[in-house]
Amino acid sequence: MAAAAQEDQHVLVRVEGHAGHLTLNRPSALNALSHTMVLRIEQALAAWENDPAVHTVVISGAGERGLCAGGDIRSIHADARAGGTASADFWRDEYRLNARIARYPKPYVALMDGIVMGGGVGISAHGTVRIVTERSRVAMPETGIGFVPDVGGTYLLALAPGELGTHLALTGAPVGAADALLCGLADHFVPADRQDRLLADLAEASVHDALAPHVAEAPPGRLAARHGWIDHCYAADTVEEILDRLLGSGEPAAEEAAATLAAKSPTALKVTLAALRRARRLGPLERVLEQEYRVSCAALGSPDLVEGIRAQVIDKDRSPRWSPGTLAEVAEEDVARYFAPLGADRELRLATTDSLQEVPW
């Protein structure tokens, strides 16, 4: 019972004025999401949806380091090693939550201060008002652990201008405020020292009126100046050709990107590229989340996910032994397996956009 009570405190739920607040409260774990946390957020959103006293929802992270570093990958590692289903159950509810956030009928304000990675992107970047600060570091770093961007990440990155999203998805590189704005992962820059005042204003005023005094111009980013070579290199049809273009571009930053890709899981790179290209054709977020669920479940049974988490998080030797170890060894049928149907009783089925009301405001 003590453990359950502690888990209940991992998401703090309160109402201040007209704003409902969700605070992720696992600062020692960089507010990593557990299944219980996902369900608690879902419960609060359901309660506030038809509560006339709550006009706005705000999500933020406790501590000084960030909103959320993603899912609890130690738990995923243990589940994958045991051949369990806990991770698939977690993703099913997490992806449903991501879709709900995107369609929430009230303003959903995400304070994307500090580190915002993986699942942290899923609970923020689908919101209606996404705020970054000079401390923001936003990333989908899944290829580094033998996984593929999920939580609607392939949807968001597929919508980024040109091939910027492909670059971020394959390299897992974090971006600051200006680049998050450029890529469509955020909407406004608010200096970190103005956040408390903004929160106070959200309790009393509409989102538009509360934001107006605090929005500022973000410090310069990096991607705008690199847009040209990124678009050229990442427009290639295969990961192998992308690497060749990066190495042949003559751009030092492109060569750094190539070195980064060379350290990632070859299988994860090829599946990620395929997932992004498919996401562009799938349409609404719900369809992409359904695809991501297939991919995530397939990854759960792959050796690279267990090995990647071991190398990066468990043993921290940073020397994963990928299987297969090279891009050339990853066949087309290996990639196709990640997109294969799971069976009628295992698929994630989300409401179609035709059955969802458009956000009224």
In the set 71, 122, 144, 172, the catalytic residue is 71
In the set 79, 142, 179, 307, the catalytic residue is 142
In the set 20, 61, 119, 144, the catalytic residue is 119
In the set 94, 150, 187, 292, the catalytic residue is 150
Is 142 a catalytic site residue? yes
Is 17 a catalytic site residue? no
Is 83 a catalytic site residue? no
Is 286 a catalytic site residue? no
* Rounded Cα distance, 126 and 99, in Å: 8
* Rounded Cα distance, 96 and 355, in Å: 15
Are the beta carbons of 19 and 203 closer than 8 angstroms?
yes
Are the beta carbons of 39 and 100 closer than 8 angstroms?
no
Residues involved in catalysis: 71, 119, 142, 150
